[in-house]
Chains A and B, each alone.
Chain A
Amino acid sequence: MQPFIAAMSKVRQAFYAAIVRSLLRTKSLLQGILKLWISPSIIKGGNVDGDAGHGGAKIGINEFLEMVEKAFRPSSSRKRLETLSDGMKKQFLESMEDNPLCMLPSYNHQLPNGDEQGTFLALDVGGSTFRVALIELSGRKGAGQECRILQKATFKINNSVKQLKGILFFDWMAQRIEETLSGQSEGRGMSDAPLPMGLAWSFPIECVFLS
């Protein structure tokens, strides 16, 4: 159980950090937008009476800003975060018992040992971007030089690409791969061993085996 607890506490820290950061950002961003948009005379006026000059305004701008700040601030207090963390942990543990949608163990049980070497093509299909990179792995011993990107390209998956039906979408992917590899010898010569590819896919698929 020990490594699990350690892993969970790491997850929790990252989770806190991400949430707090995003909440704080929202607040400072709003202040930034307000500074940009409110005329200086309004700022000088301090508490602006909503009815003066703004038809239909119910509260003052400073009052509104305070409300936004207040709405986000309690979320980052220690006690709130601990309650949040306990609740999340409970949900995580429940999902490890029986939940077909979350906490899904893959077929991968090993992390890389750092000795893997060679030239590979890395593909990444996300919600809005397709990334292709030809990479060379030279092993962890290369301290800082373990992975070299030989060629990379990023392609927007815009609406017209999303509308491609069936194999047309995969043909589009193959064209982009061909584009990225143009000028490279890898993945070309049919007499050579094929260039190994790995794909990161950010959509739910059912995995039935590990090859």
Chain B
Amino acid sequence: MGKGFLAAHGLLGQDLGDLIQDSCSRRGLNVKLNAIVNDSSATLLSKAYSDSTTRFALILGTGVNAAIHLPVHIFAPPKFGVRPSEWHDCAKHVIVNTELSMFGAGILPSTIWDDKLRAAHPAPNFQPLEHFVSGGYLGEIVRLILVDGIQTAGLFGGVVPPSLRERYSLDTETVSYMES
């Protein structure tokens, strides 16, 4: 499941919808789970509901992603895997989860601090764009620049505060409060 969650523990292969539905039923809630979508698709759908011209949605949060409503014919057929022919009969466009975070390898301009962040990352090449722009990493980039400034230019009197020593100790949320 990722992002530090253990919910998938012992449940691999089970249907997410059933799991949630069962938990709700056990609490006596009269609810029915009708749809599960990726968060970027959800953003696209909710804006498209109020504005019929909406075609894409961008997520800029802890992670970064985008969903786009694209014509089916621009994809190579194997991208659709095995689907019933009825789906292909009625689908002219399709909502696409771009997984935008994974793009940009070898293209995006990298500073020495970005390089440092990746050097210490367990999967440095998995989500290139995410490492540059997402809330999960902006705080760490600022922290790396600050530590560099302290050590090379004597910022903060040349002493790295203990709170800045640990990796990812500066939350993007904190940085955002300073900025506003």
Would you call B169 an interface residue if the criterion is a C-beta within 8 Å of the partner chain's C-beta atoms?
A: no
If A11-B56, A178-B29 touch, does A203 touch B49 (CB 8 Å cutoff)?
no
Complex Cα distance, B19 from A87, in Å, reads 41
> A residues within 8 A CB of B41?
106, 108, 200
> Interface residue count for B (Cβ, 8 Å)?
110
Complex Cα distance, B93 from A6, in Å, reads 14
Would you call B179 an interface residue if the criterion is a C-beta within 8 Å of the partner chain's C-beta atoms?
A: yes
Interchain CB contact under 8 A, A108 and B37: yes
Interchain CB contact under 8 A, A112 and B37: no
Main secondary structure of the interface of B (DSSP, over half): mixed
Chain A 78-102 interface mask (CB, 8 Å, partner B; 1/0): 0010011001100110011110011
Interchain CB contact under 8 A, B56 and A7: yes
> B residues within 8 A CB of A4?
70-71, 74
Chain A contacts to B: CB under 8 angstroms? 1, 3-4, 6-7, 10-11, 14-15, 18-19, 22, 25-26, 28-30, 32-34, 37-38, 48, 50, 53-61, 63-64, 68, 71-72, 74-75, 80, 83-84, 87-88, 91-92, 95-98, 101-112, 114, 116, 121, 124, 126-128, 137, 140, 146-147, 159, 162-171, 173-175, 177-178, 181, 187-190, 192, 194-205, 207, 210-211
Chain B contacts to A: CB under 8 angstroms? 1-11, 16-17, 19-20, 22-24, 26-39, 41-46, 48-50, 52, 54-56, 58-66, 68-72, 74-76, 78-80, 83, 87, 90-100, 102-109, 111-113, 132-133, 136, 138, 141-142, 145-146, 148-149, 151-158, 175, 178-179
Residue contacts A-B, CB under 8 angstroms, 21 given? A3-B71, A4-B71, A18-B133, A29-B142, A37-B155, A59-B153, A71-B113, A91-B107, A109-B94, A109-B95, A121-B31, A140-B50, A146-B49, A159-B4, A169-B7, A174-B29, A181-B29, A195-B29, A196-B32, A202-B65, A203-B3
